[in-house]
Amino acid sequence: MSTAVHTVLLVFKTDAPKAHALALEIAGWLSDVGVVTLLRESQTDPEKWPVPRGRGADPARDPDLAIILGGDGTILSEARRTRVGEMPILGINLGRVGFLTALGPKNWRPALSDVLENGFSTVTRMCLDVAVIRDGERVFFTRAINDAVVGRGTMARLVELRLEYGGEYVCDLRADGLIVATPTGATAYCVSAGGPLVHPDLGVYCVTPVCPFQTDFKPMVLPASAPVAVTILDPGADMHLTTDGQEGFPLRARDQVLVSPASRGITLVTLRGETYFEKLRRKGFVGQR
């Protein structure tokens, strides 16, 4: 089912003059073709929204589409922290890999023309609810789109962790850390640590150890029908929880990091002719170099 576009929110990366200039160019083009536009910088007050401009502007109407100019990090930040995460997202890559983005700075015009003429379709990607349980109480909670990483802090030393799935003991392991990734996040830190690429249509976790030592533990793909729990066993460990490489929380011995599927995922716009495997090839994840 395709969605028509009447109002667009444009978000551009903070302290990125090229992103700002392109956002102004796109805003002008959209206004010229009769689309109401809202323009805002990323990493600003999540509750502060710009006033819509253009013919037929209605402050009470939510945008039909969010166009984010930056890289994967900008999309992750906006989708996690603001109401952008509740609307369809179309990314224009001004960063490096840009696996969550669909367009580049040079091909946006024909793609947006097609979107305005024919509407757009979307896919919903799984997200994670991540909590820290300490002495039976929840002391931290957040949402992750790519991954939750339990990793060591400033000291370069192995730590001992316990992995459980659905309340069942899996194993204890010594490693630098452990990654619990969504299929979307499989192309991020997970694959760098030796984890597999996982098709984003699957509702699964990818659990990957970081530099395991004398531990017979290979990356695992587990159904997201039950929670994953990672417990810090090492009493002297300097450990942190990091979500999407953007938000951190210091961990203590016996803390348990509980990861479960979020009730709401992230919605990404899909363009005609683009497939998951085509994007893997284009971004250099598969194929000859």
Catalytic residue IDs? 72
* Phi and psi angles of residue 202, each rounded to the nearest 5 degrees, phi first: -85, 140
Contact 145, 185 (CB under 8 A): yes
Close Cβ partners of 120 (under 8 Å, ≥ 6 residues apart): 2, 3, 5, 65, 88, 90, 269, 270, 271
Residues 6+ apart with CB under 8 A from 42: 11, 12, 13, 14, 68, 70, 74, 77, 78
The continuous run of DSSP H or E covering 225 comes out as none
- Can you tell me the distance from the alpha carbon of 129 to that of 136, in angstroms, rounded to the nearest whole number? 17
Token pair for 68: 């984010």
Count Cα neighbours of 144 within 13 Å in the Cβ-side half-sphere.
33
Using only the alpha carbons of the chain, give its radius of gyration: 20
Beta strands in 79-235 (DSSP E): 89-93, 121-125, 128-134, 137-144, 147-152, 159-165, 168-175, 177-181, 204-210, 220-223, 228-232
Residues 239, 153 contacting (CB under 8 angstroms)? yes
Find where tokens 């002297």 sit. 236
